[in-house]
Amino acid sequence: MYKHTTSTALSLLFSASTVLASSSPFVKRDSWGAAFSLGPAASPIISTSTTIYPGAMPSNQAAYLFAWLGISNGTGDLIQSIVGSYPAGGSECGGQTGADTTWCISSEVYGSGYQYVGELTTADLNYENGIKLNYTLIDPSTYLWLQTMEDAVTGTLLSTYNKTSGPMIGWGTALECNDNDAGEACTGTVEPQYYVNSTIVLEGTDESFADTLGAGTGVVYTDMETADGGKTWTIAKITIPAMQDSADDETSSAAVAASSSSAAVGNIAVATSSAVVSVQTSVASSSVSVPSTTSVASSSTATASTASSFSGRPGSGWFGGAHGGGRFGGF
């Protein structure tokens, strides 16, 4: 299997970009779509859930496109449920009906330079139903995390994985687009993606958690809300623009280095753009009805990441190399 590259970029924990060293003459690279991120939280995350509506998958994919929600702590594992688009014959869902024509659903963890993938993967022919993601700390004494991905309408289990990973303080979406080994570019998303009814539960209260929010250009979202003083947070809807309609939102690490200023957040290098955008008040339409957003100021951020080359795919991960050496480089 293809082992994606690791990166340390994020919109304060989650949006990233990577440049990968390669033995071939070309430079292997990742690009990233717009993202929504939160963290670091003052109290660790103990569970989170959301439903993603990924939209149509790009046709004739030549490389690797991954949409994922990740949680991490900046130093250890990146837990990430993956909605992936692969070149023909290269899918995690190889051998299944639709493996080359529809999204492949896989539960993964990136850590220690490896991408760990759950045994159950599904070529999702019914992706329009939405995919419900759940991450739960099921054993606090060992930090054993369980992640599941289910059909949001039927409840059918599409993928699952559990792994001991540690405390988590960052939360964010990502659109990761990786070249293939021949240097051909990934085809990015062609439709907006929606994260609906997102819930984040912290171990303790953090009344300022919403203040850590970062969003890329074109990202639209409803207000973060808490009814218990900052322990449980909800976001009705997050809309991520299509990459094909927002080329300016995709950044390579070279662009980040050239145009962004970096700051240290824990051990996470974060490159922050000074741009401030006014988010439109109308929410992009979907089958889910949610309150319209209000005007908010947000910054488009990304972090420079470390790079390494991989051959094969010994495992998988996120935020610290998310999908195999890329995604977040472990926030």
Q: Are 12 and 322 in contact (CB under 8 A)?
A: no
CA distance linking residue 39 with residue 265, whole number of Å: 10
Q: What is the mean pLDDT of residues 119-147?
A: 98
In a domain, 47, yes or no: yes
Residues contacting 95, CB < 8 A, separation 6+? none
pLDDT confidence tier of residue 277, bands split at 50, 70 and 90: very low
Residues contacting 327, CB < 8 A, separation 6+? 4, 6, 7, 16, 66, 68, 70, 78, 80, 110, 174, 176, 317, 318, 319, 320, 321
Q: Is 192 exposed, middle or buried (0-12, 13-18, 19+ CB in 10 A)?
A: buried
Mean pLDDT in the chain? 74
> What pTM was computed for the model?
0.73
Residues contacting 141, CB < 8 A, separation 6+? none
In a domain, 197, yes or no: yes
CA gyration radius, the chain: 18
Q: Are 81 and 107 in contact (CB under 8 A)?
A: yes
Q: What is the mean pLDDT of residues 246-259?
A: 35
Model pLDDT for residues 45-60, shown as the tens digit of each residue: 999 999 999 999 999 9
Q: What is the mean pLDDT of residues 124-144?
A: 98
In a domain, 44, yes or no: yes
In a domain, 4, yes or no: no
Number of structural domains (the chain) is 1
Range of the domain at 100: 19-327
Q: What is the mean pLDDT of residues 77-100?
A: 97
pLDDT confidence tier of residue 29, bands split at 50, 70 and 90: low
Residues contacting 178, CB < 8 A, separation 6+? 4, 5, 28, 29, 30, 63, 64, 65, 66, 186, 323, 326
In a domain, 187, yes or no: yes
Q: What pLDDT was estimated at residue 78?
A: 98
pLDDT > 80? residue 284: no
CA distance linking residue 51 with residue 150, whole number of Å: 9
In a domain, 6, yes or no: no
In a domain, 313, yes or no: yes
Residues contacting 308, CB < 8 A, separation 6+? 5, 6, 20, 21, 113, 325
Quick one: what percent of the chain has pLDDT higher than 70? 65
In a domain, 156, yes or no: yes
* Least confident interval from 16-20, 147-151, 152-156, 218-222: 16-20
